[in-house]
Amino acid sequence: MITPQLQQHGIRYGRDKLYHLLYRHGLLIRQRKRKVYTTNSNHSLKKYPNLIKDLRLYLSEQLWVSDITYLKVGKGFAYLSLVTDAYSRKIVGWCLYPTLEATGAVTALTMAIKDRKTNRNLIHHSDRGIQYCCQQYARELDYYGIRISMSAKGDPYENAIAERVNGILKTEYLLDKTFNSIMVAKTAVANAIEKYNYLRPHASCDYNTPDIAHQLKGPLKKRWKSNKKQPCTDQKEVQQKQVITNT
């Protein structure tokens, strides 16, 4: 997005160089620490298997992921339920609710279903929280022919997309602060989701905004670097990595 302005001034800056500049000036986003747990999977309700382990995404409305996070409101909390399209990373449904009752999650799901544009085969993936396993939520998914998928117990990596979206909203759009009331918090959430969906280029969507990516077809190029460490056999490459690490 800033490339045209840089080019006008004859400035050549890649992503890594830009990150180093931001780091030197203290402008990188600080990682948040999670303090409140919103998932209770210790219940007797029906749990569903994971259907997305080998799923390849090439269209929107192929896979939705859902999760619940918290916002600080006064001396307590409110709980934000999100439904995100896994292909485009677009938030298609949300609800900020004062308690962890299933009503908040169902309201977010209803919004997503109401705004659905196609009748494609759709999978809904979540953790094993009681909100997603309850009869009301499962019945809603079944009524619209949406298949139910859930992550393994205690494994947040199986719902990593939803967790990532939560983190972006909190750290980049300042939803990690304390709000005076739930109405103020709702306004902030609506503004954050609007900016996230329509203004923020996403590295997982070939630097398209989620709204634009939602209209595309075919695999989207991932522009982020993997954290997985690969074995290094070339001595020159080892030395280069050591310099970067020391820096």
Helix (H) or strand (E) holding 130: helix 130-133
Q: How far apart are CA 188 and CA 80, in angstroms?
A: 12
What string of pLDDT tens digits covers the 247 residues of the chain? 788 888 889 888 887 888 788 888 888 776 655 555 555 556 568 889 999 988 999 999 999 999 999 999 999 999 999 999 999 999 999 999 999 999 999 999 999 999 999 999 999 999 999 999 999 999 999 999 999 999 876 565 667 899 899 999 999 999 999 999 999 999 999 999 999 999 999 999 999 999 999 999 999 998 876 555 444 444 444 444 444 444 4
Tokens 């298949």 identify what position? 147
Residues 209 and 60: beta-carbon distance below 8 Å: no
Q: How far apart are CA 37 and CA 79, in angstroms?
A: 11
Entry pTM: 0.79
Q: Give Cα 247 distance to the centre of its chain.
A: 30
